[in-house]
Amino acid sequence: MNDSPHPRRILFLLLAALLPGLAASIGAGAIANVSTGLLAGGLAAFVSFIIALFSESDAARAVTLTEEAGDARQRAVAEERDGALLEVQTLAAAIEGMDEGMWITDSNGVVLRHNEALRTILGTDQELVGQRPLFLVRRTELHDAVLRACREGVPSTVEVSMDAPRSKTLEVHIVPLGASLPGSAAVFRDVTERKRLERVRQDFVANVSHELRTPIAAILGYAETLRSGALSDAKHAPQMVEIIHRQSERLGELVSDLLELSRLDAGERPLSATKVLLEEVARQASEAMEPSAAAKRLSLQLRIPPDLSARADPKALEQVLLNLLDNAIKYTPEGGTVELVGERVGDRAQLSVKDTGLGIEARHLPRLFERFYRVDRGRSREMGGTGLGLSIVRHLVHGMEGELRVASQLGVGSTFTVLLPAA
């Protein structure tokens, strides 16, 4: 069955060495994931192998025992065996139930065992046992770390990026098994999503920084210019003051929008779900926007059945409609039409803001609700706005358990649709 001189001892040492290493590297979270029903694959075979070992040696030993001592001894052996077996089973289930991939290597870094999750993480069907790290993950830093753990007993954590089969980033924690058993264990964690979120956060911070600094640069620059003599420049001074005023307003809007988003993110703005007559809310919003529409000679039309109602937060819904109408008016050329249409669709109430505006290219649609995403930076600056409006709209609609959709055709117009639970 096994040619090595002390197979049982080696397996026990292996498990004993593994336990603290595992606890250190996978943490309480992974243990909580464990389900005893997950005894499968390689580790299941590993466990049956141990059971076989126990049965065989116990039987041989039992023959040599005297009868009365034999009973007690047999009970003790059985207890020891049951205890050890339970431990092995628990451990095997724990390893197999981990989200993280794991392998155990011998003193040369050759893989001896692994769990099934490792295959998923490495994205491979090939045989892993008997391979060296460099063959399985073509990154020398991982290979070197494994050898360091095996030879010098040094634990380490390395980050490896893989290109194939698909691009991902793994964080690998490598621990030596201990002096009594040369070899190492490594736990693989897929950190691709975490890395992506970090990048999103960094981009957001860079964007906020840019968006804040631009108006500040204008305010500061014109104030400095006025102070150093331009105040007596009767032709330009009033324009400069006008710019300072406008840019201060822009800064103010940006700060309010950022605060609003952060409140929504943190769930600090509880939204109610009361029965709202949509025509009423829509009328308020469209009346508020009427002057801007009139200034561009746009026809602003309202077509909502008077009895159409939804479960929503009236203030949040008004804010959503104001935002959508404001966008529609901004991006619709003079003489065009903006419509606010309501209807019932199944068990939901639908409100659509349709414009005869410039339209949006299809490639921009999936990113339209991202913070600071702009279809045309130059144009949106002309129109004003913080780049956060649609992001806030999406947050509010989702907060009311609704859905937000957009459809658009370049040169024809855009339709933003809000679907809310009907009431």
Per CB under 8 A, residues contacting other proteins are 206, 209-210, 213-214, 216-222, 224-225, 228, 230, 236, 243, 246-247, 376-378, 381
State which residue, 110 or 230, has the beta carbon closest to other proteins. 230
Measured from the CB atom, the residue of 369 and 372 that comes closer to other proteins is: 372
User: At its nearest, how many Å lie between other proteins and the CB of residue 222?
Assistant: 6
Q: Least CB distance from residue 367 to other proteins, whole Å?
A: 16
> How far apart are CB 204 and other proteins at their closest, in Å?
13
- Comparison of 71 and 382: residue with beta carbon closer to other proteins: 382
- Residue (223 or 423) nearer to other proteins, CB: 223
SS (H, E, C) the chain: CCCCCCHHHHHHHHHHHHHHHHHHHHHHHHHHCCCHHHCCHHHHHHHHHHHHHHHHHHHHHHCCCCHHHHHHHHHHHHHHHHHHHHHHHHHHHHHHHCCCEEEEECCCCCEEEECHHHHHHHCCCCCCCCCCHHHHCCCHHHHHHHHHHHHHCCCEEEEEEECCCCCEEEEEEEEECCCCCCCEEEEEEECHHHHHHHHHHHHHHHHHHHHHHHHHHHHHHHHHHHHCCHHHCCCCHHHHHHHHHHHHHHHHHHHHHHHHHHHHHCCCCCCCCEEEEHHHHHHHHHHHHHHHHHHCCCEEEEECCCCCEEEECHHHHHHHHHHHHHHHHHCCCCCCEEEEEEEEECCEEEEEEEECCCCCCHHHHHHCCCCCCCCCHHHHHHHCCCCCHHHHHHHHHHHCCCEEEEEEECCCEEEEEEEEEEC
Nearer to other proteins, 6 or 381 (CB): 381
312 neighbors 342 (Cβ within 8 angstroms): no
- With respect to other proteins, which residue has the nearer C-beta, 151 or 195? 195
- Closest CB 240 distance from other proteins, rounded Å: 8
Minimal distance, residue 328 CB to other proteins, in Å: 23
Task: For other proteins, give the closer residue by CB, 210 or 275.
Answer: 210
Q: What is the closest distance, in whole angstroms, from the C-beta atom of residue 217 to other proteins in the complex?
A: 4
When the beta carbons of 46 and 222 are compared against other proteins, the nearer one is 222
Cα–Cα distance measured from residue 347 to residue 282, given in angstroms and rounded to the nearest whole number: 20
Cβ 256 to other proteins shortest distance, Å = 20
Residue whose CB is less far from other proteins, 19 or 237:
237
Distances (CA, A) of 89 to 81, 104, 275, 354: 12, 17, 56, 63
Q: For residue 65, what are the contacts with CB-CB under 8 A and spacing of at least 6? A: 73, 74
Of 211 and 326, nearer to other proteins (C-beta) is 211
Shortest distance, position 378 Cβ to other proteins, whole Å: 5
| Cα 95 to Cα 33: distance, rounded to the nearest angstrom | 10
Least distance to other proteins from the beta carbon of 293, Å? 25
Question: Taking the complex as a whole, how short is the minimal distance between the CB of residue 254 and other proteins, in angstroms?
Answer: 13
